[in-house]
Each structure stands twice: as structure tokens, then as C-alpha cells.
Structure 1
């Protein structure tokens, strides 16, 4: 069951990055509009810091190579400068919306995944960053094969 509407996704490739190369360094900055529900994916050699707003609700991801295998790391700023109530809400929203964000990254960079199909099976490691230990976590969120809206459903 996909919740991504591809018509609401805009993708920008920055200088030094093509639709298929490089793997490393390849950084993703995913932001959104609360008003229109549009998603904006910027893919570059570094994060698109110019796209980040003061609420810090972006999704930052990058490919990491260790030995001969790749992993995808995501960093989410759950909070430190916010009240505990706001941090609790941000944590809830990030967890609820992360599958959509992963679908957007997978779909928005589909030519890259077609050129490197082995990356569909690389682990997605998510860093929930917070000064409150209850929310400061590192979790495995599966692989991009779980978030590929282009493949036919088995249901």
C-alpha cells in the first residue's frame, strides 16, 4: 500500500551528480510543503543546506560504503531545542511519514536504482537524533526493495 503521489514529487540533481552516478558521495535532502503536501528531493554531492528550514523536519540521507557493501544512512533531527512535548510529537510524525520519505527517495532516484540494482537490498539505517535518550535511537528500516512503488504488489 503506497501513499506516495509521484505527481507531488519534484526532483533536482545538483552539479556533479547524474541520474546514475556516483554512488558515493550521493546525498539526499528531502523537504516538503505543509501547504501543498508537495515533496522536494534534492540529490547532490552534499546535502542541500539551502533547502533546510528552521523547523528542521527534513530527511537527510547518504550512501556509505564499508568494505565491499553499501548502506544507506538517514539522519532525522527529532529535537533538542524543543520542549519534550514537541519532541514526542516530532518523533511520532517522523515515524509515521518515514515510509513515504523512503518511497520518495526510491521513486525519485529510480534510474539510479535501475543502474545499481544491488542497492535495493542494502540496509537503511536511521538515526533519530535527540538530546532526550528515549528518542535518540539508531534503527534498521529494511531495504529500498520494501519501498519500491514501481514494482507490482504481491497482494
Structure 2
């Protein structure tokens, strides 16, 4: 995914989802094209399985879920189910760790209208679960809040405009 550039982001809403509905169960699918640098974000009640490459499995998915009276953006990345050896799984794990910020920036930027309707979600925690058959790559990491990704994107846009 490389660096996030909002002009390379394509957003699709999967009906009946809209820029302001639903909250609970709102799902994101982030994929990308290595050749042209385009990032694709689908927002809906379901994950966009059509966009997921079943051989590469390099998507990032996430969903708004209620936990203990608050909403959490809970994401997942697929490292290995056994089809990749341990070394290749380690490479995938490291790449996902490096690129997760780009995927989260795309999710937040692509759904910015949603946050104008639900500004209290700007400070909700984001967790990403790394799924793998290898225990050393099975992790859940805290990735901040949507507000942090909005701030990063704005700073990047200001810096790009100044150059």
C-alpha cells in the first residue's frame, strides 16, 4: 500500500449502507492495487468479498462493534492459515504491521462524513487482530483512534500542498 494519498482512494458504499447508517455492524474492506497504488474502500453491512483476492489475502477488514457500552473499531488481517510457511508468514506479518496505518487512514478518510454524524466515535479505540496458525504472529494490537488518523491525513495534505 505504501504511503497514503487521499487522491488514490476509491470509496464504494454497499447498499443499504449510507454515509450515516449503520453504526453497529458497519463494515470496512480495504484492498489495494500494487501496480497503480490505488486503495479501494468498501463500506457496508457485509465485507466486500468480491474485492478480496483469495490467493493474496492482503485485505484489511474492520467493523464497528459495541463493547462494554462503547463502540470499538475491530479489525482483522489474515497472516496465515497454514498455506504459507513460517518464514513467509513472518514477512506477511511485518508487512501488515508496516502498512496498517495506511489502511486505517484510508478507512477514516473514506468515511469522514460518518464522523460528522457521530463525532463521539472519533475517540473510539481501534484494535487490529492478526490471524495466524503460528502463535508468534497471532496478536491483537491497539492502533489508536480515528481522530489520530484524521490528524495524520490533514498534516500530510498540508505538507503536500506546501511542497
- Flag whether TM exceeds 0.5 (same fold): yes
Of 112, 134, 140, which residue of structure 2 is paired with 1:132? Answer: 134
Q: Distance in 1 between matches of 2:16 and 2:105?
A: 24
With 7-16 and 60-69 compared, the bigger mean Cα shift is at: 60-69
- Tell me the number of residue pairs that the alignment of Structure 1 and Structure 2 aligns: 152
Matched, 1:83 2:85: yes
Describe the SS at the equivalent of 1:46.
coil
Q: CA offset at residue 144 of structure 1? A: 1.0
Distance of 2:25 and 2:137 partners within structure 1: 28
**CA distance, structure 2, for counterparts of residue 102 and residue 122 of structure 1:** 13
Residue in structure 2 matched with residue 73 of structure 1 by the alignment: 74
Equivalent pair of 2:25/2:63 in contact (CA under 8 Å): yes
1:23-42: CA deviations, max 9, x gaps? Answer: 01210000000111100000
Separation (CA, whole Å) in 2 of partners of 1:147 and 1:73: 15
Scaled by the length of structure 2, what TM-score is found?
A: 0.88
TM-score computed with the length of structure 1 as normaliser = 0.93
Name the residue aligned to 1:55.
56
Residue by residue over 1:41-67, the C-alpha shift from the partner in whole angstroms, topping out at 9 and shown as x without a partner, is: 000101011111021000000000124
What's the C-alpha RMSD, in Å, of the aligned pairs? 1.5
- After the TM superposition, which of the residue ranges 143-152 and 20-29 deviates more from structure 2? 143-152
Aligned to 2:5: 5
From the superposition, tell whether residues 66 and 86 of structure 1 become closer, same or farther in structure 2 (CA, over 3 Å). Answer: same
The structure-2 alpha-carbon separation of the partners of 1:136 and 1:9, relative to structure 1 and needing over 3 Å to count, comes to same
